Amino acid sequence: MNIIETTGLSHRYWSEFSLGSWRNEAVHDLTLAVPEGSVFALLGPNGAGKTTTIKMLMNLLRPTRGEARVLGVDSRRLGEREFTQIGYVSENQVLPLWMTVRQLLDYCRPFYPSWDRELERTLLRQFELPEDRRLKHLSRGMLMKAALLSTLAYRPKLLVLDEPFSGLDPLMRHEFVRGVLEVSHLGDWTVLVSSHDIEDVERLADHIGMVENGRLKLSEPAEALLGRFRQVELTGASFDEGLKPAGALEWARAGNLTKFIATDYVGEASERAWRERWPEATLRVTPLTLREIFITLARAGRQTSNGAAA
Amino acid sequence: MNLTWHIVKKDFLRLRLPLALWTGLLLGCIIATEMIFSPRSLEPEWFSRQIGILSVLTFVSVVVCCILTAALALEDPLVGSQLFWVTRPISGGRLLAAKLLGAMLFFIIWPVVVSVPWWLWCGFTLRDVGAGAAQVMALQAVLVLPALALSALAGQSSRFLLWTLALLLALPAGTGMVAYYLPKDLSRDVIASRIDLAYAVGLLTCGTIIWLQYRRRRLAHSILAAAAGAALAVLIGFCWPVALAEYWPKDKSQLPGAENVSLTLSGASRQTKGDLHWVTLMFTANDAPADVSFLSGTVRVDFRWPDGTTLQLQGWVAPINPDYTARFRLGLPPAQPDPATEAKRAEMKEASRLRMLERGLKPEPPLPEGESLITHLGVPAELFDKFAIAPSVRVALRLQTGQAELLAEVPLKEGAAQTGHGARLKILKVEPVPPASPDKPANQVSATVITAQPTRMKFLQFLLVDRAHGTVIMEGASQIPSFRAAVLPVGVNKSPLRLNIPQVWRDGQWVGMPEWLEKDTLAAVTYRPNGGFDRVLQADRLEFVKK
C-alpha cells in the first residue's frame, strides 16, 4: 500500500520578474508513489521542484493540475485527523520562535492523542536540547532538532522532512541523520525526505526519487537502483562511440581505456553481452554508490536540457 | 473546544505583556478622567490640557488595540506556504474560532471588565453598566473586525501596517469623492442610509474576508471579495435611493394610563421673518400620571381649506416646561408661596397687562392649566397667506414620555459631591456674581459643577431646590457644558451655572431669600424614556393668530 500517491501533479506559480512567461511551472505532471514503511528520498538539484511537491502534499500549496493523495486523502482535504498522523519538518517552516523548547512541546502535545511522553523525554535527552531556551536563541541544527522532536514524539505514520539538512554544518548533519536513524527503530513510520545532496540521505533511504526541472526522472527502490547502475571499463583497445550500448552514459576514452556507465545492468547477462560486443577487451565492472548515480543522472539531465536549449 | 481554548491560551501567553501595556493605557484614560473631578486649577487651560491628554491616550489605545488584534491574527498567519499551524492538526475553522474567542476576550470583554469598577464608582446603575458594556463592546468590535480582516489578508506585520495606512488614506478620499458628486438636494435621511449601508457592507466584507481566509486560505478569492465589497460600498454611496428610516420599525407602544391623558389643541399662530414662514401649534396636556413627563414627539398635521386646498406638514413637538414631574421625584411638599411676594408679583403682572393695553398691544393670554407642548412647522411661502382663513385641521401626534429620575442632590457648597443613581456630581466652586451696578443688590451666584454620566444620557437638568418652601427652579442643563470629555461610556461635563438667588418682597423692596444658600440644594435630574402614546386631534376650524 502506498502512503503517498500523486497523479499528474503540477504547480504553476506567478513569476514576479518574468513578464514574458507570466507563470512558471515548478512541478510538471509528477506521478509518484511512496510505499508504506519506506524511507523515500526525493532528490534533485536546487530548484528542481522538491519543496513545491512536498508543499502540495502537505496542503501548503494547491496543485494547479493533478492530484495528490496522502494517507488515502486528497491533499487539499487533509484535516485534523490526518495531521495527527503526519509529521512535517522543513528548513523553511516558520516556527513560533518566541517559545521555549518546553513551551513548543507543551503547545503541540494536546493536539496529538498519540503523543508519547516517554519518547519525548528520550528524544530530549538524545538531542540534548535545552528546554528553557527560546527557539530564536537556538542554533540552526538545534532548531531543526526541536522541530523534529515535536513531530516524532507523537509517532507519526508519515514523517516528511523537507531539506532538513540545509544550512547545517557537517557535524550537525551527521548528528541529525544519526538522530533520525536512532529514532527510526522506535516507530513504524514512512519517511519522505527531500534533499539536494544524496550524501545526506544515502544512509537513510531505501527508495529513491529523482526530480529535475519539475519532472520526475526516476523513482525506484535504492537496491534496484544500485543494482542496475555499473561503471564499466574496457581496456585493450579504443572503441568507437558508435558501439555504445543503449542506455549507457558518460562514454569516455583515454588511450586504450574506454569507460561508460551502464544504467540497465542485469548481472551476468549484461556482462556476457558486453564481452560478445567487445571480445578483444578486458572488462571491469564495478558498482556505483548512490552519490555517483545521482551525479551521473544530474549531469546527464543537464546535458539533455543544454542540448534541447541549443 | 479544549483545543480551541488551548490556542487562545497560547496567544495570551504570547501577548500578555502588550496586553498589560494596553490595559495600562485604558487605566490611564480612566485616571486622566478622574483627575477632572479634582482639578489643579479651574482655568480653562487646565481643562484643555486634560482634554489633550485624554485625546492622545484614547488615540494611542485605539492604535494599540488594532495592532494587538493584528498581532493576535498574525501569530498564526494565513498567507504563505511555510505556515506552522497548517501542518499541525489545527483546522481553519478551529483556528478561526480560537482567534475570534481570543479577540472577544482580549479586546472586547477585557476593556469592559477593566472599566466596570470605575463605572460603578461613577454611580452607574446596573442598567447603565449593561448599556455601557454593550456600547463599548460594539465599538471595540468595529475596531477589531477590520484589523482582523486586514491581518488575515496581509499575512505579515509590515504589510499589515502598510495596508492599514493605505486604507486610512483611501477611506477619506473615497468618502470625499462620493460626497463631492452627491446631488445637493439629496435628503439627509437618504445620505444617512447610504453611510449606514456602506459601513454595514464594509463590516460584512471584513467578515467575509475573515471567513474565506480561515476556511479556505485562498488569497485571490479574499482579495476579490474585498474589491467587490469596496465597489459595492462606493456604488451604494453614489446610487442608494431609499431612506431606511422609513422602514425602521417604529415604537408604537402605548403607555399604560395614557388613555386618561387629555390633550387639547390650545392655540395656533402664524409668523414670518424674512424668507421664513411658519405656523405654531400649542397643545395642553392634563391628567397625565404624576410621575410621567412629556419628552418630545412627532406631529403630522393635515390642513384643509374651504376651497379644497390641502397641505400636510410634519415636525417635532416639545414640552415648554419639562420639569414639572421633578417635584414628584424630589418628593417635595406642595409649594408654600410667600404671601407678600405673591401679592407683589400679581400686582406687577396686572400693571404690565394695563401698560400693554395702553399701547394698543394684545397681552399674552395666560397659559392654560396643564403641561404645554409646542410645535413650529415651516410653511411654503406661496401657501402662508392661506392661513389667514381658518382651515380644518387633523393632527396626528406621537408623544414620547419619560420619568424624571433624581441622580444626585447636594448642598450648594464648594466640594459637595455625591454619587447617585446613574451619575456623579461635584461642585467645584461657588462664588457670588458681582451686581451689574454697585447700587443694586447681588442677585446671582455662579457655581461650577462637574458631572459624570452615561454618554447615552442625553439630558441632565440642574435644579435649585428649596425644600423649606417646596419650590424648584430650573437652572440650566448639561447640554451646554463649557467642557466635555468622554471615555466611553462615561461622559464628563463641566457646567458653569448662574444661579438666581430666590427673591422675596420685604419692606417695599426685593431681597434675597434669607439663608437660601445654606438651605437650598442643587439637584441633577434626568428623564428616562418609558414609552409614549399616539393621539389624533381634529378641529373643523382653527384660527391662526398673526404675530
DSSP A93-113: ----TTSBHHHHHHHHGGG-T
Please state the φ and ψ torsions of residue B39, each to the nearest 5 degrees.
-70, 150
Helix (H, G, I), strand (E, B) or coil at A266: coil
Q: Is residue A278 pLDDT above 90, yes or no?
A: no
The DSSP secondary structure of A10-35, one letter per residue, reads EEEEE-SS-SSS-EEEEEEEEEEEEE
Beta-strand (E) ranges in chain A? 2-14, 23-35, 39-43, 65-70, 73-74, 86-90, 158-162, 190-195, 207-212, 215-221, 230-235, 249-254, 257-262, 282-287
| Listed residue (B74, B69, B71, B151) closest to B111, CA to CA | B69
Which strand (E) or helix (H) includes residue B19?
A: helix B2-34
Q: What band does A217 get if pLDDT is binned at 50, 70 and 90? A: confident
Nearest to B3 among A88, A98, A111 (CB): A111
pLDDT at residue A163 is higher than 80: yes
Q: Any idea which residue has 463590516 for its cell?
A: B203
**Do the Cβ atoms of A94 and B75 come within 8 Å?**
no
Q: How many residues belong to chain B?
A: 547
Percent of chain A with pLDDT over 70: 90
Per the CB < 8 A criterion, the answer to whether B18 and B112 are in contact is no
Per residue of chain B (547 residues), give pLDDT as tens: 789 999 999 999 999 999 999 999 999 999 999 998 888 888 888 988 988 999 999 999 999 999 999 999 999 999 988 899 999 999 999 999 999 999 999 999 999 999 999 999 988 889 889 999 999 999 999 999 999 999 999 989 999 999 999 999 998 998 888 888 888 778 888 999 999 999 999 999 999 999 999 998 889 999 999 999 999 999 999 889 988 888 888 777 788 888 888 889 988 999 999 889 999 999 998 888 777 888 888 999 999 999 999 999 999 998 886 555 667 677 777 777 788 888 998 999 889 888 888 887 776 666 667 788 999 999 998 889 999 999 999 999 999 888 888 888 899 889 999 987 888 999 998 888 888 777 777 778 888 889 888 887 777 888 888 887 777 777 665 445 556 677 788 888 888 888 888 788 888 888 877 777 777 888 888 887 888 889 999 999 988 888 7
Categorize the per-residue pLDDT at A48 as very low, low, confident or very high, splitting at 50, 70 and 90. Answer: confident
Whether A60 and B94 lie within 8 Å, measured CB to CB: no
- Take residue B54 and report the three cell numbers written for it: 485624554
What does the alpha-carbon distance between residue B10 and residue B27 come to, in Å, rounded to a whole number?
25
Single-letter residue type at A205: A
Select the residue of A86, A92, A108 nearest B82 (Cβ to Cβ): A92
| Residues from A in contact with B at Cβ < 8 Å | 55, 58-61, 79-81, 83-84, 86, 88, 90, 92-96, 98, 103, 107-108, 110-112
User: Is residue A286 left, alpha or beta, with left meaning phi > 0 and alpha meaning psi from -120 to 50?
Assistant: beta
For chain A, helix (H) and strand (E) counts, in that order, are: 10, 14
What is this model's ipTM? 0.86
- What pLDDT, on a 0 to 100 scale, did the predictor assign at position A281? 85
pLDDT at B99: 97
CB B449 within 8 A of CB B427: yes
The answer to whether B83 contacts A60, with C-beta atoms less than 8 Å apart, is yes
**Whole-number pLDDT of residue A18:** 47
Nearest to B532 by CA among B286, B358, B298: B298
Among A123, A32, A22, CA closest to A75: A32
- Smallest Cβ–Cβ distance between B89 and the set A61, A84, A96 belongs to A84
Q: Residue B203, class by beta-carbon neighbours within 10 Å (0-12 exposed, 13-18 middle, 19+ buried)?
A: middle
So what's the pLDDT on residue B70?
A: 97
| CA geometry: angle B96, B102, B104, nearest 5 deg | 100
pLDDT given at position B480: 54
User: Which three cell numbers mark A204?
Assistant: 537513510
pLDDT for A14 beyond 70: no
